[in-house]
Amino acid sequence: MRFERLVRSSVREIKEYIPGKSIEEIALKYGLDPENIIKLGSNENPLGPSPLAVEAIRNWAGKVHLYPPSNALELRSAISEYTGYPANNIVVSGNGMDGILDTMMRLFMSQGAETVIPVPTFSYYEIATLANGGKPVFVKRDRDFEISHKDILAKVNSNTKMIFLCSPNNPSGNVIREEEVRKILDRTDAIVFIDEAYVDFAEDGLSSLSGSVKEHENIIVGRTFSKAFGLAGMRLGYAIVPDWLSREYMKVMTPFSVDVLSIASGIAALGDAKYIRKSIETVKKGRVQLTSGLESMCKVYPSEANFIMIDVAPRTAADVCEKLLRIGIIVRDCTSFRGAGDSLIRISVGTQEQNRRVIAAIEMIL
Ligand SMILES: Cc1ncc(COP(=O)(O)O)c(C=O)c1O
């Protein structure tokens, strides 16, 4: 096309982000009743949203003609109370943690700059690096998807701007040991981005890694309202950062990026302790249910997130996922995750009934 040449060459090389499939898409493709489809492919909250968040959205719906406060101070103060960090150390995004990643990339990346990414992991780190003119440098995880500080640091050079550590990792579900992270933080001048999208579901709860923000000037701890807080549709994310970084972030973030309804629902969800407790309990119980139901049929990796990952070799993930889709069960084929091979499947923890259905279906297929 005539105008395609105007797109930056680094962007033209990016492979499309592959999201989890939607209920509408699958209902249409396989002629299924949407009501009978279960969606366990995008790590959403099976309980639905917090009732307090829904009430807040209703209450604020009549005020959407007004701009929100540009610095989202009330929301940042509520997050500050929840995390124990001053509001000055909290930055927010109205496009989920993806938006935080994007803004950070705009801050740090330039032509020739590198990021270090242990794979397989969340694919947006790679896309955001390329989209901002940088070069992603990959480190392969070991057979259990662990990473060592030595392997990571071996890839760091004077061009390295950011290192991405996802804990619990998507799609493998394992956490990075704290001493490994500390060794990386201590021994590098690059920014270490710790993605804690799933940390609420980890055995130790909110990690003490965020404590490193007080001790290090090169750490970002990314979090989201999309998982434990059940607000994936509102697209709200935040990060805990050192003072200097918070000032730089505010300079380049999109003005008014967090909308009125996201602010109101985020504050309400943070205050709904009962809902948060229940969503974490549901996931922890469901994780056990899925693991014990599936482990006699295939390898199940231990997970501290709201999903589990299974290996269906010698079958391929594509084959098993397709058969599940035909009967209305959406899970995630991990083939599109760089370095994941072709036999891994990620299954989000659902309600007891959804978990039971997925176990029975996989039993039938395998
Ligand atoms: C590891 C990880 N980080 C970040 C995100 C993005 O989350 P958000 O919905 O806040 O953009 C996801 C989404 O699934 C994720 O899996």
Dump pLDDT digits (tens) for 5-36.
888 888 887 887 777 889 999 999 999 999 99
Low-confidence ranges of the chain (pLDDT < 70): 206-208, 210-211
- Ranges of each domain in the chain: 4-48+274-365, 51-270
Ligand 1 atom closest to Cα of 225? 10
Neighbouring CB atoms inside 10 A of 103's CB total: 24
Query: Please, is 176 exposed, middle or buried when counting C-beta atoms within 10 Å of its C-beta (0-12, 13-18, 19+)?
Result: buried
Q: Encoding tokens for residue 65?
A: 């003609």
Q: How far is the CA of 3 from the centre of ligand 1 (A)?
A: 32
Ligand 1 atom closest to Cα of 232? 9
Q: How far is the CA of 114 from the centre of ligand 1 (A)?
A: 21
- 195-215 as b/e, with b when 16 or more CB fall inside 10 Å? bbbbbbbbeeebbebbebbee
Q: How far is the CA of 364 from the centre of ligand 1 (A)?
A: 31
Q: How far is the CA of 180 from the centre of ligand 1 (A)?
A: 22
Q: How far is the CA of 232 from the centre of ligand 1 (A)?
A: 9
Q: How far is the CA of 326 from the centre of ligand 1 (A)?
A: 27
Phi/psi of residue 90, each to 5°?
-115, 130
Class of the CATH-defined domain 51-270: alpha beta
Among 91, 95, 97, residue to substitute to test ligand 1 (most atoms within 8 Å of Cβ):
97
Among 91, 122, 167, residue to substitute to test ligand 1 (most atoms within 8 Å of Cβ):
122
Q: How far is it, in rounded angstroms, from Cα 75 to Cα 78?
A: 5
* Residue nearest ligand 1's atom 2 by CA: 197
Q: In this predicted structure, what is the pLDDT of residue 207?
A: 64
Q: How far is the CA of 98 from the centre of ligand 1 (A)?
A: 6
> H helices within the chain, ranges in order?
9-12, 23-30, 51-60, 73-83, 96-108, 124-131, 149-154, 178-187, 212-215, 243-252, 260-270, 273-294, 317-326, 352-365
Q: How far is it, in rounded angstroms, from Cα 79 to Cα 155?
A: 34
Q: In this predicted structure, what is the pLDDT of residue 9?
A: 81
Helix axes 260-270, 73-83, angle to 10 degrees: 20
Nearest to 290 by CA among 204, 201, 203, 351: 351
| Residue 209 per-residue DSSP state | G
Q: How far is it, in rounded angstroms, from Cα 114 to Cα 106?
A: 13
Q: How far is the CA of 347 from the centre of ligand 1 (A)?
A: 15
Whether the CB-CB separation of 320 and 343 falls below 8 Å is answered with: no
Q: How far is it, in rounded angstroms, from Cα 173 to Cα 347?
A: 11
Among 175, 226, 337, residue to substitute to test ligand 1 (most atoms within 8 Å of Cβ):
226
Q: In this predicted structure, what is the pLDDT of residue 208?
A: 63
Amino acid symbol at 142:
D
Ligand 1 atom closest to Cα of 42? 14
Neighbouring CB atoms inside 10 A of 144's CB total: 9
Q: How far is it, in rounded angstroms, from Cα 47 to Cα 250?
A: 34
Q: In this predicted structure, what is the pLDDT of residue 353?
A: 97
Ligand 1 atom closest to Cα of 101? 4
The architecture of the domain spanning 4-48+274-365 is: Alpha-Beta Complex (3.90)
Q: Encoding tokens for residue 360?
A: 């029975």
For ligand 1, residues with CB inside 6 Å are 43, 96-98, 122, 166, 170, 195, 197, 224, 226, 232, 237
Cβ contacts of 349-352, under 8 Å, gap ≥ 24: 349/40, 349/46, 349/282, 349/283, 349/286, 349/287, 349/290, 349/306, 349/307, 349/308, 350/38, 350/40, 350/46, 350/286, 351/46, 351/47, 351/282, 351/286, 352/285, 352/286, 352/289
Q: In this predicted structure, what is the pLDDT of residue 210?
A: 66
